[in-house]
Amino acid sequence: MKTAEWGKLVLMAALLLLPAAMGQKASFSVKVAPILEVIPLEGRAVYDLSITNHDSSTQEYRIYSLNFPDWDIATEPLLNPITLTVDPAKTGTVRIYVDPIKVFSEGTYDVPINVKSQKGESHKIPLEATISSTASVVKGYIPTVILNVKYPDPIDPRVPVKIQVRADNQNRLNITELRIVLDNPVVGAEITDHLEPLEEKTFEVTKEISPLTPPGELAVMTRAYFRDKSVITPLVQKVRIMEYADLGEPEVESKFLKTERSYTFRTNNPAYEGSIDIPTSLLETLFTSTHPRAKTVKKEGGRYFEFTPALNGKGEMSIQINRNFRPLVVILVLIAISLALYYTNRSPLTLKKSADHVKRHEGGIAELKVLINVRNRSTQRLENIEVTDTISNIANLEKELYIGTLQPVKITHHEREGVIVRWNVDKLDVGEERVITYKIKSRLAILGDFTLKAAVARFKANNRDVLSRSNSVSIHA
């Protein structure tokens, strides 16, 4: 073991022993019982982890690997994240399976895991696992694929089901024939393709199912094979078939600013008890009549016509909505004129200012990163854009952060205004965006609110001088 690693271990041991030296008792303790420590490369080591709660209240402990992605840990059944709840003065046990994901040679390995209580106290637990065989390695690599399968949630049986499968090859092995099986008689599918070394590929499969598929949950088993050998642990996920109530597309008869629409409502539930909602607006309801009569209600931030179902023997209901918008002509014209004026006179350049990576010290703001997004939203190229920003006297500009971003052309120190920084953007094509980044440190910790002034951009557009301002940014200590 390297000297630096020994130093880290000594430091961690000292930190763990410090509370005891000060007369403080740890709120929990952890014991490990090895069940299976010597494994082949494709195997999993097994340990029983026992946590004793010395606290006066029930605690939830989170368990995770400190050496991911080389080693991962899991439970059976699968828990994500891995947690264990233990009552006061009690001991709880969980079985941990340790999986060598990116380990390709034989030997004995230290696999540290961390146990953290909900109060923030954590213990680092060293596990030891031995790889005894690498027979399953292909050309120096284990076929390792991570799959992520996404179904619509819920699944609407009236439309084709679009299934998305993302496959991630975790090593440099060329998987020439990958077979992915989604096993279910209703929504199952099979994909055969290949994965280049370290390639991530997304597959999309469309599955037609019967519109009369009853609502409920279906279990889909996902498997993946390379050379007829499984490369993943089979995954089981639940998908839901929805109970639908279909309003359908209306038959429309249009006249000048007047529309008559006829709907047919259908459902696969003859005892449907929900309402039939058709979107509308406050203004629209003033010029609309319905048959049968509907109530106007607000739901989920919108306004709707609400009909009470009265189904016939086929599970259908006819609805008519007649809308007359002729009185709205004047309002629409005024809106159109207003929009035209807005788009004609608005600035072709937008500035957006924000703060990130705010660091605090002694209860105040000590350091932060400032970003200025400059974007051309016009339909023509903009040139010779001068961007100016002002930094208050209570903070200093960190010059070394200019590397990798747009360099300032001038930095001026003003007695009252502070530091004035200028950048020149030679050109911005249509839709192009530039990001200006710099870092400032306060001379003393800033207590209370700290406000970054608005940045300003000056340029010419259509032979006239244009000035654009960004937003100001308030940061709370």
Q: Which of 13-17, 405-409, 447-451 has the lowest mean pLDDT?
A: 13-17
**19-33, 166-180, 211-225: which range is least confident on average?**
19-33
Opening angle at CA 243, ends 242 and 246, nearest 5: 110
Same domain? For 191 and 95 the reply is no
Assess whether pLDDT exceeds 90 at residue 319.
yes
Classify residue 359: in a domain, yes or no: yes
157 shares its domain with 275: no
Residue 343 and residue 332: Cα distance in Å, rounded? 17
* 99 and 10 together in one domain: yes
Listed residues 133, 166, 190: the one ending a domain: 133
CATH of the domain at 93: 2.60.40.10
Answer yes or no: do 236 and 250 share one domain.
Answer: no
Q: How many structural domains are present in the chain?
A: 4
pLDDT at 408 over 50: yes
Q: Is the same domain home to 356 and 374?
A: yes
Verify that 76 and 107 share a domain, yes or no.
Answer: yes
The CATH number of residue 372's host domain is 2.60.40.290
Q: Tell me what pLDDT residue 239 has.
A: 94
Residue 190 dihedral angles phi and psi, to the nearest 5°: -140, 135
Picking from 31, 4, 26, 5, the residue whose alpha carbon sits closest to that of residue 15 is 26
Q: Is residue 338 part of a domain?
A: no
pLDDT band for position 138 (cuts 50, 70, 90): low
CA 14 to each of CA 11, 20, 30, 364, 368: distance values in angstroms, whole numbers, following the listed order: 5, 10, 18, 31, 33
Pair (353, 470) in one structural domain:
yes
Does the pLDDT of residue 397 top 90, yes or no?
no
Task: Say which DSSP state 243 is in.
Answer: P
Residues 236-259: tens digit of each pLDDT:
899 998 888 888 889 999 888 888
Kindly state whether residue 73 falls inside one of the protein's structural domains.
yes
User: Each residue of 355-379: pLDDT tens digit?
Assistant: 988 888 877 888 889 999 999 998 8
Check whether 139 has a pLDDT greater than 60: no
Among 247-256, 394-403, 459-468, the range scoring the smallest mean pLDDT is: 394-403
The range of the structural domain enclosing residue 391 comes to 347-476
Does residue 461 share a domain with residue 352?
Answer: yes
Would residue 339 count as lying in a domain? Answer: no
Assigned token pair, 263: 């709907």
Sorting pLDDT into bands at 50, 70 and 90, what band is 26? confident
Per-residue confidence at 386, pLDDT binned at 50, 70, 90?
very high
**Domain of 307: which CATH number?**
2.60.40.1170
Q: Enter the pTM of the model.
A: 0.35
